[in-house]
Chain A
């Protein structure tokens, strides 16, 4: 009778050999099928380093240095706003224009200047606008008390301008009632926007027009410049 130990060893070796063969075939097939891919990477130097932002002076040092606090709280130039008088006593209109390089503006709020209280929002030319504020300060006794009332608008879809140098972006006109003329434009905050892929330029890129010949007038089909200074 043969010894069992060499037989056991032979069976294990056969199994191991088959394992190596199968693994090798599998790996080869993977490579053949293009799955032996390399990682997609980016450079790590120059403009490809992680973004850093210079830290402004703060606290007492900033005050001593006379740093303008408005320069610390950076704001964008995403909208232009104007307040004008409306029809009726204490009725006003707020016009907000999208001047942003971001894209579409969908919702925003307007906080009036200090000392002005908005009592009612009477309408808007786009989206839905309403009077809102921060609640909870009245406790259970006065649950409806709201601080810092402001106008909030949603569903606006204000289109971006073709160039931030041209005021052709989407706009909304909001009618409201306040206890006094706001005067200054207050503060607008964008709460929701849809960035677009296309870069919105900050200057026009139209080519120079040719000079008009003597007696030639500029037309749509053949524009020219008079060249007068």
Chain B
């Protein structure tokens, strides 16, 4: 069938294709696939399906490097999210996705719909969402737009998550000027399903009806995937606000319950949410996976405004919509369930034998495209990747321990090494270290009655009802290390996420990732990305933990300035016995405090360096529509510093030692030292929420020992009688005895630190509310 153009539609040519984000070569390829000029509707369809966001055209080649298989992995790749067998017949489904650009343009709705989208990716697999986490990167807190963005994003995550009844159990937040003009919002969701209940997104069965379920279609989000997510920012970005969707968590909650109920009938053949590129991507992808065709009657689609054109209907990214293929003859069973939940549910098409993707409007075809042209045939690019030329403005690599302090430079006054107790206080109040309670207090983290350990710990711990099992989960990133070396930085990030999960006593079982980078058309960005993938691959192989799902976010740059490479890594671990999970804080006076470290720590590229390091010059930075002076970022300031790759078998030993020690009941608490080093970790471990405790510590005497980072460091507490066995558990790593837990809530680190724990807690808790001006 030759599709028709509609009255009033623009003439399709290469110029119009360019305005849709397609290159001339891509446009030529489309004409070749069709053997004719595409209709305006078809051009729109191709532009979203071939966008970076939907087609992964720059990343697909490299993503194949990742180890995706393993004895626990269930189902093949290509489904909406990966799945992991976690025992007792349960399968964990999890994935993390970015919603960076929408959240920068419209923080509340951008973040809210980010949560909504990832929830749908999970329940479309037949899994009930039981937890979400978020990884957030904001600009400097002092930046004039930051408070607006922070409160908008946090409000949006809470507004959606709280209303949909899925707890937000963990997360991470970082503030750095490198994100002033391009924040990151990565949302993670974990769901649980019985193994036999997993759903497919593979259409089959010629004649099977196609059902549209959920919200009516409106104009929101048109070209979200192609123009907003797949292009960098410039001064016109504010005008892209209409491409951000608006979320309705109430409808999402109904969709979750209705879909999970409908799945119980067994009448659903395939199901997929209408996410990026909406109806177009969900229908073509389900057909493509099943090697069938699909025919959609657009007149039947419920609309918010009567005048929507086929082009707009197909490209709309209105939220809270699902597309499903039903067993022929059983559609009424499903329609009755959706009606009970007061949801729109209409048969809008059918599966056809011919592998064509066809859309009809007023009795005539407006699009008729080979399915494969939209899915598999989307272009794949092997973009050039090359390391950046040595930067002449970067400082020379400094020898260890030669960090230059503020006022250290010529003509800037005398050197001013802060006293360790003052440094500790300053670090506890640093936005990148201090308590995140101001944020997570706005999230419901207890609904569904599974949260054993909530936000504010190394990893969240959830129980699996009806079993003795539990899951631990954490999301991490380390853009400082990645900015210095995108390969080592990614490995460092994976190790940290593994360690966090192991600090809860859980054995790491699966990885998901969200890879945030700049414009892949620039060889140095592509190089960062490829190095990141290689790092992720090598770390996953070293830990023997599969990468079960992931997402790539390119074009995170504004006016030619890219974010630092930011691979966000989430790890899910399994606790065979939930009763053996570990908390991050000390619990029993007189317990030994022990430290296990894989290498000597470094002060460079640390939070200490960011807070006390040589002051960087203020410089003029031009943001999207916001001219303002911002200090050069901590990430910029560390250029030229050194990162070290530690032997990965030692990293794995550390993680395994934690899990073994927990399973054998040898460890009372475990806490990973991250920003701020061992001293901050010791203080945090004293912050027992029931009863603050103290610690008497010796053997951490230099600033490097106290505040250094870059080496994997874990602080554990244990009964004295377990020391010798713990030494064997962690072999060949050394277990250092640092001191003892004290009932008196004072943190003493000989010779210079002696602080009231209650005061330190106050500093730690007050920092964020004070800086966000809402205390």
Q: Do chains A and B stick together as partners?
A: no
Chain B interfacial positions (CB closer than 8 Å to A): none
Chain A interfacial positions (CB closer than 8 Å to B): none
